[in-house]
Amino acid sequence: MPPLPLIVEPDELEAHLSDPDLLIVDLCKPDLYPRAHVPGAIHLDYRRLVERRGHAGGLLPDAAALSEILSGLGITPQRHVCAYDDEGGGRASRLLWTLDVVGHEKFSLLNGGLLAWYNEGHPVESQPHAAEPASYPVAAIRRGLADCQYVLSHFADPHVRILDARSRNEYLGLTRFSARNGHIPGAVNLEWTFAMDPAQHLRLKPFPLLRQILEASGITPDKEVIVHCQTHHRSAHTYIMLKALGYPQIRGYAGSWSEWGNREDTPIETDESP
């Protein structure tokens, strides 16, 4: 099949539905998949993509677990994976970020997800599809991942920017989901929904506008950008958006604030910080 872009429009995806090398993965709410999904799509429960260890949620499963998950979906290195969900792309982007981390080269995000697909008259079906298991060995984590130690070592680096994709109240420390509230010192706050256009079924906003917003906030392509939220769910969407814009150095902090805010050795700023 001809290569699909990282951000694929519904019309283009529909034209490729019969391609045998295309695998469509649905990450909508479990009760939605039996009612309506893109034809041929296989459902994946988002919870399989993340692990909790102690207070830290959103962690990446180990290589053996990832191999089992990806093999069970029928993914092979040759297949092109297109993911979508019903929330604007957060859960779908977490799958795509995971594929990027393990070195998979062929994947796309359906722009606008099921909302755009359904409301613009593209075909849906209710018949479930079972995956045909394949073999997808995951040998190592190759790129795109930041752990807590990496962030601790780099958050003050002038060549690195921390992009906090949580809500403004979470960033300011007014809303708490961990033992401590606030944000990583120096982090830039752009809530993940800033990239979505509600008038276009939650598609990404035009790329020139997104670049303007990012660069005005100091998120420039010459910097390494580390994205996070509470569990690297929302910020996975931010990661894929930055990748689509051509940012060459991006990492996702998987533990995110669920880890940083529950440790005692991590520096924090709040709205009350001097």
Place of tokens 């593209």: 122
Q: Which 8-state DSSP code applies to residue 273?
A: -
Query: Taking Cα atoms as reference points, which of 84, 211, 227, 88 lies closest to residue 151?
Result: 227
| Cβ atoms of 13 and 40 closer than 8 Å | no
CA distance linking residue 90 with residue 184, whole number of Å: 22
Place of tokens 């506008």: 209
CA distance linking residue 222 with residue 247, whole number of Å: 8
Measured at the alpha carbon of residue 74, what is the angle toward residues 110 and 138, in degrees to the nearest 5? 95
Encoding tokens for residue 11? 């019309």
As a whole number of Å, the CA-based R_g of the chain is: 18
In the residue annotation, 229 being an active-site residue is answered as: yes
CA distance linking residue 123 with residue 272, whole number of Å: 52
Query: Where is 115: in which H helix or E strand?
Result: helix 113-119
Q: Which amino acid is at 55?
A: H
Task: Map residue 8 onto helix, strand or coil.
Answer: strand
**Would you name the residues annotated as active-site residues?**
229
